Amino acid sequence: MSRSAAVTVDVHKVRTNTHAVVSALGGRGVVGVTKVTCGAPEVARAMLEGGAVGIADSRLENIARMRDAGLVTEFWSLRATVPELADDVVSLVDVSLESEIDTVHALDEAAARANTRHRFVAMVDLGDLREGMMPAELPAFLDAAAALEHVEVYGIGASLTCYGAIVPDADNLGELVALTRSAEARLGRRLHVSGGMSSSLDALVEGVLPDRVDSLRVGESILLGVSTVTREPILGLHTDAIVAAAPVIEAMRKPSRPRGTSAQDAFGGRPVFADRGERWRAICAIGRQDVDPDGITPFDPGVEVLGASSDHLVLDVDGLARPPQPGDVISFVPNYSATLRLFTSPYVEKRFVGA
């Protein structure tokens, strides 16, 4: 029985998945990404225990929370900052990903005030059209950054698959390596190659991940055990390290097709229903405000997700051996979209087991 919806993380499986990814990469670094869990310190700790060389997140608030929890590691900021937050970045982050020279200037000034040096990865756009300067702009960017005293170009990096769904392959990863070598010749020193995110694990499996890639920023594959290119299991990882569950608040036999004049639903859609006769239906205490109903797979094949309103999840449970009772819990494996909402919702309890 359960009083509310919950998302449970098995940190042992997160640790095991991290170790498997680290081993598969054969000496390349893994920077564990915690953003989908809102920077949960328990998740970050499991990644570090599994062999991650650092932790990355998109939000400074999450990094501050992990530092406050006592985590000591190299922290990366995944989302380029605005100049107004440069002091916060310098105080909280060891390595940031940047593409705007005005922001780099602000970081330089903030680092000077803090009497330190800040490292950053220069991000280039290799076709995915999320963040990153166009490759032709990199030389001028490097020249301008190299003239500053309190920042250091730590490496060259790229993001692929997250926005434009562009797959890392021999061509775009080869371009990243070529750009890095050109930058190294320009700056006169070796640079770090940050070779993308979880999607670059597919390039590893296919044998096209360049040896020159020094590290990957990996979150989804460690946490959900799947390729972000195919959403199929990868590297033999656990695919149930994160589980969602919600209590049943109603279970009744009802028609499978609504009765009356049809209009828009609560989200502006016009749903279509097949008439399957009268069936057992259940409603769980969780909705679109908390989870993506299209992104959860019931553990029990006798359960089918029909849809959701803002705070009700509607299920067909006619395939269960017995109908559920109010308070019974139904569990699901969430995909990335669902996981993101589960951890962001203040109405979903966060649990950590398997330490």
To the nearest 5 percent, what fractions of the chain are helix, strand and coil?
30, 25, 45
Strand partners, 205: none
Q: Calculate the CA dihedral of residues 316, 318, 324, 325 and round it to 10 degrees.
A: 90
Amino acid residing at 132: G
Amino acid residing at 233: P
Return the H-helix or E-strand segment holding 168. Answer: none
Q: Calculate the CA dihedral of residues 355, 337, 124, 72 and round it to 10 degrees.
A: -20
Alpha helices in 160-306 (DSSP H): 170-187, 200-205, 220-224
DSSP string, 312-336: -EEEE-TTSSS---TT-EEEEEE-H
Contact 99, 129 (CB under 8 A): no
Contact 199, 227 (CB under 8 A): yes
Rounded Cα–Cα distance for residues 162 and 152 (Å) = 27
Per the residue annotation, which of 13, 35, 254, 350 is the catalytic one? 35
DSSP string, 87-123: HHHHHH-SEEEE--HHHHHHHHHHHHHTTS-EEEEEE
Phi-psi region of 51 (alpha: psi -120 to 50; beta: other; left: phi over 0): left
Q: Reply yes or no on whether 350 is catalytic.
A: no
Give the pairing of strands 151-157 and 192-194.
parallel
Return the H-helix or E-strand segment holding 302. Answer: none
Catalytic residues: 35
